[in-house]
Amino acid sequence: MEGDPDKEGSDGFRWDSDEEEGPRNIPALACLSPIVPVGEDGAGGGELSDGFHWDSEEEEDEKAPKLPSSSCLYSRDGVGKAVVDPGEASSSAGPSNTKMISEFVVMGFPRERVIKAIEENGESNTEAILETLLTYSALEESPPEQKHAVPNLSSSESAGDIFNEFSDVDSDLGTEENMDPLSEKENTLKLLVDMGYPIYEASIAMDRCGEDASIAEITDFICAAQMAKAADAHLAEPTYSPSSDEEERKPNGICFAPPKNNKRRFFEEEERRRRKREKRFEKKVFDEDGGVLSLPKPMIGFGIPSEPRPIIRRTLPQAAIGPPYFYYENVALAPKGVWQTISSFLYEIMPEFVDSKFFSAAARKRGYVHNLPLENRTPLLPIPPQTIHEALPLTKKFWPHWDGRTKLNCVQTCTASAKLTERIRKALEDYDDEPPLKVQKWVIDECKKWNLVWVGRHKTAPLEPDEIESLLGFPKNHTRGGGICRTERLKGLGNSFQVDTVAYHLSVLKDMFPNGINVLSLFSGIGGAEVALYRLGIPLKNVVSVEISESSRNIFRSWWESTNQKGNLIDINDVHLLDANMLEKLINSTGGFDLIIGGSPCNNISGSNRVSRDGLEGKESSLFFDYFRILNQVKFIMGKS
DNA sequence: AAAACTCGGATACGCAAG
DNA sequence: CTTGCGTATCCGAGTTTT
């Protein structure tokens, strides 16, 4: 079972390299600087890796005046001079962009710091601003100011895993001018960071080496860990056995289970194919260019029902391990760097990218970051129709042979105009069944673009809401009636989970929670997560659901009532209401959450958006940081008790 | 307020050629 | 292995009409 030491691969999917950055779990509920991707295995470092290098830099080129590279804490060559000056620089002349300030303030950062960070980084470099703010919190242990009460971190000695790494750090809530002098540990940490070590690695190393370890011991430890990681990087061999040093592995280590077949030839064949596949995946998921994301092909995540069994195993970082379980979703084809940022905020867990075309008759490419086990998944039954013709039998009769689609494209919130289907009809009416190739091509292009189906001779149509309901795995009429107009139905559906896909991932919870679970559901929409759990037969005890759309809340609640749920549904209309205070009350009254699930708004991330595809900092999509915040707050509060 | 309509970009992939 | 070009995809936004 022992793999070749030099090939042993726990992290087939590393996307960062030997200079990973990515501290996490900082008491302030804020964490860390996102990973700085650099060259692979030290070899590809080259010119690309000089200096700070992630996507924000490219943005600067276009949108912002050039900023000095020192604006970034973790520069590669400049080796992490903390540019943050924790002193009291008076900042009366704040940036003009008050909107930006308030956005950061809403995220929980103190106003003064926001202003300072903006001054340091320039208004347009939001990534760097965020990083600076997080670094303030990391290095100064002053948690972002909460609008309401926040758990008292000074008692974090007893906190759960999430804060253990910094557990001896006192924090003085909200009083910036009243900062305690740095403790010895903090000083050491700061020193290591100044020396250029990633804060995350430094803090882990300090924990491992013990209280009174010397700097030399700690740096030795970090070097050893980095070498181990470099060795891992050579992996490409699927053989991996969990071993005693498992903890030392890259936290996001994911590996392939060893093949069981003993026949040499088959084994070798399998091996070759696997290596190839793995290499491709490894190389491409996040490349050194600052998060260019390339998705696994086929996009089957860590396994789909039609495969005999998942071929992937992974080890999660300690801090990511539940309770609670968490599950975060968003569109797979996000702009550069987005998934990398998401992942770096969520314990560097590799997103599971899945196209729901493997679960239904319609595509839906999504990434899921979660800490659920991967073994023993079971699909929702009955297996839904897998082709357009099975899903929409009435279309078969009119489907021209030259339209070769068997799967629909992604269901979106917008739908084709009647004008378009009219143009299509007219274009086809001039011919019999065999229009010229040019016309065929145009029609098919439009059909694909707008997900049209054939409902009559020469007649195409967009999907009806009830058809979308079943494609997405919802019960018929889930979104119908009760005062919900068609537009709202389509919008709610377009923004939803594909239930079968999510249920497949969540199915592992069934045996763990035979008596039901408590769910914190963020950005619930029309209740895809709950429908999935319900259809899996997992009783819902308490569901706290946050959803801003009134229509969606109504849809969800009427489903809840019509399915005679035994548990309690608490719905909240704004995620910002869910502060530490409220969470603590909810946790006390429910006994804690078993699952925190949600997909934050994608509209600033989705490829369909031509107007405001601003990435994670977009107006709506930045709510991801609330998912992150709430996850950490819940972990903290639950860890306390 | 809901429906209808117009607008049209970032990203990645496959392929051929250097 | 890299570069350039054509192609396919996409949980949308903004404005006008009903």
State the pLDDT at residue A72. 26
Contact predicate A54/A36, CB 8 Å: yes
Identify the band that residue A253 occupies on the pLDDT scale cut at 50, 70 and 90: very low
- Say which residue, A85 or A390, is predicted with more confidence: A390
Identify the band that residue A123 occupies on the pLDDT scale cut at 50, 70 and 90: confident
State the pLDDT at residue A474. 97
Indicate whether A377 and A409 sit together in one domain. Answer: no
Identify the band that residue A130 occupies on the pLDDT scale cut at 50, 70 and 90: confident
A270 within domain boundaries: no
A608 within domain boundaries: yes
Summarize pLDDT for A271-294 with one digit per residue, the tens.
444 444 443 443 334 443 334 445
For range A325-342, the mean pLDDT? 93
Distance A288 CA to B4 C1' (A): 45
State yes or no: pLDDT of A448 exceeds 80. yes
For range A596-606, the mean pLDDT? 94
Closest CA to A402 of A441, A358, A457: A441
State yes or no: pLDDT of A601 exceeds 70. yes
Buried/exposed A88-119: b ≥16 CB within 10 Å, e otherwise: eeebeeebeeeebbebbbebbbbebbbbbbbb
CA distances from A460 to A401, A424, A472 (A): 14, 7, 21
State yes or no: pLDDT of A90 exceeds 50. no
Indicate whether A90 and A115 sit together in one domain. Answer: yes
Indicate whether A400 and A376 sit together in one domain. Answer: no
What is the CATH number for A603? 3.40.50.150
Percentage with pLDDT > 70 across chain A: 58
- Say which residue, A332 or A91, is predicted with more confidence: A332
State the pLDDT at residue A530. 98
Indicate whether A425 and A549 sit together in one domain. Answer: no
Distance A445 CA to C7 C1' (A): 11
Candidate from A380-394, A430-444, A552-566, A589-603 with smallest mean pLDDT:
A430-444
A230 within domain boundaries: no
Summarize pLDDT for A541-591 with one digit per residue, the tens.
999 999 999 999 999 999 999 999 999 999 999 999 999 999 999 999 999
- Say which residue, A185 or A383, is predicted with more confidence: A383
Indicate whether A148 and A199 sit together in one domain. Answer: yes
A294 nearest nucleotide via C1' and CA: B12
Indicate whether A375 and A409 sit together in one domain. Answer: no
Task: Please give the positions of A annotated as active site.
Answer: 602
d(CA A641, CA A628) in angstroms, rounded, equals 21
Identify the band that residue A118 occupies on the pLDDT scale cut at 50, 70 and 90: confident
Question: Which tokens belong to A621?
Answer: 């999509």
A306 within domain boundaries: no
Summarize pLDDT for A219-231 with one digit per residue, the tens.
666 666 655 444 3
Q: Which of A30-44, A102-116, A314-328 has the highest mean pLDDT?
A: A314-328
> Could you list the protein residues whose CB lies below 7 A from any atom in strand C?
A 329-333, 363-366, 409-410, 412-414, 445, 448-449, 491, 494-496, 523, 599-603, 605-612, 620
For strand C, which nucleotides have at least one atom less than 7 Å from a protein CB? 8-14
d(CA A79, CA A97) in angstroms, rounded, equals 30
Distance A457 CA to B16 C1' (A): 40
> Could you list the protein residues whose CB lies below 7 A from any atom in strand B?
A 284, 292-295, 297, 333, 335-336, 414, 417-420, 485-488, 607-608, 610, 613
Residue A146's domain comprises 40-219
d(CA A425, CA A459) in angstroms, rounded, equals 6
A240 φ, ψ (degrees, to nearest 5)? -155, 130
State the pLDDT at residue A349. 93
User: Could you give the number of structural domains in chain A?
Assistant: 3
State yes or no: pLDDT of A620 exceeds 70. yes
Summarize pLDDT for A407-441 with one digit per residue, the tens.
999 999 999 999 999 999 999 998 987 899 889 99
- Boundary (domain end) residue, out of A219, A252, A275: A219
Candidate from A54-63, A305-314, A456-465, A479-488 with smallest mean pLDDT:
A54-63
A604 nearest nucleotide via C1' and CA: C12
Summarize pLDDT for A462-512 with one digit per residue, the tens.
999 999 999 999 999 999 999 999 999 999 999 999 999 999 999 999 999
State the pLDDT at residue A312. 72
Indicate whether A605 and A543 sit together in one domain. Answer: yes
